[in-house]
Amino acid sequence: MSRVTARRRTRRISPSGEIQRPDTLAVEEPLEIRIGGQSLAVTMRTPGNDVDLVHGFLLSEGMIGVAEEITAARYCTGTDDDGRQTYNVLDLTLRTAVPVRTRSFLSTGACGLCGKTALDEVRTLSRYPIAEGGPVVDTQVLAGMPDTLRSKQSLFEATGGLHAAGLFAPDGTALAVREDIGRHNAVDKVIGWALRQNRVPARDLVLIVSGRASFELVQKAVMAGIGMLGAVSAPSSLAVDLAAEAGLTLAGFLRGETMNVYTHGGRITASPNRKPRLA
């Protein structure tokens, strides 16, 4: 398998002087996803958990709904300058043939779609409407999930250059954590894990991401039927609109004991010892 870290020389400058030393960096390589030999998409990712990644990607794109719809996944032959297998082309076989076209990038900010068009398309594509129930999570438990996520980011500790996503049970138990150079890839990897473990729709689970909550990440959560999404940083306006319409609980700025709850906050319960405070 490809390496996930690489060493490069760097010139470190600090108040005490300069030093030449090697630095550990996160590897970024392309992964071409093919369906029956036809190219579907290329994503820049950190190698590892590629099968989870493609399962989550195809679910997010509305091309599959259960893991059994992918009957085979194999790396195509390809070598680097040293003759080593690159593991950068993954060819999938689907149980039912689907039209293969280059990914339309519905979820990018430059796609040219208005907000309503994007919301309507996601609502139409999703096979797993989010139930009224969903996970009920104590505020202190939710606030502690980013710290748990961070504690399991071994590659971030080594490189400082990776995003992370994790799926949690309502009691705060981390079920799966994945890291990647791209935040969308990290989410696809944990959703792919859930799909392969027959945990989709994941209405009873909480998705935690290490950065901001963009429209694309909310879209992926909705496509997997996830009931709650928490982000360390801010959401976008369209992300909040989609979460509100889809029934997803969305919380941002999960830092320490504070958070902003944007949509469907009834699933987040205040701890008995937490006193309300007026702004």
CA 245 to chain centre: 20
Residue 186 neighbours by CB under 8 Å, 6+ apart: 162, 163, 164, 165, 178, 179, 180, 209, 210
Q: Is the peptide bond before 170 cis (omega within 30 degrees of 0)?
A: no
- Whether 76 is catalytic is no
Token pair listed for 250? 């969305």
Token pair listed for 125? 């594509």
Give the phi and the psi of residue 140 in degrees, each rounded to 5: -70, -35
Token pair listed for 276? 């309300």
Distances (CA, A) of 266 to 64, 83, 139, 170, 230: 31, 56, 11, 14, 14
Classify strands 70-75 and 17-26 as parallel, antiparallel or unpaired. unpaired
What distance in Å separates the CA atoms of residue 108 and residue 111, rounded to the nearest whole number?
Answer: 6
DSSP 274: P
Given the residues 6, 19, 72, 111, the one annotated as active site: 111
Q: Is 195 helix (H, G, I), strand (E, B) or coil?
A: helix
What distance in Å separates the CA atoms of residue 238 and residue 114, rounded to the nearest whole number?
Answer: 10
DSSP 67: G
Residue 64 neighbours by CB under 8 Å, 6+ apart: 55, 58, 70, 94, 195
Token pair listed for 29? 């390589």
Active site residues: 111
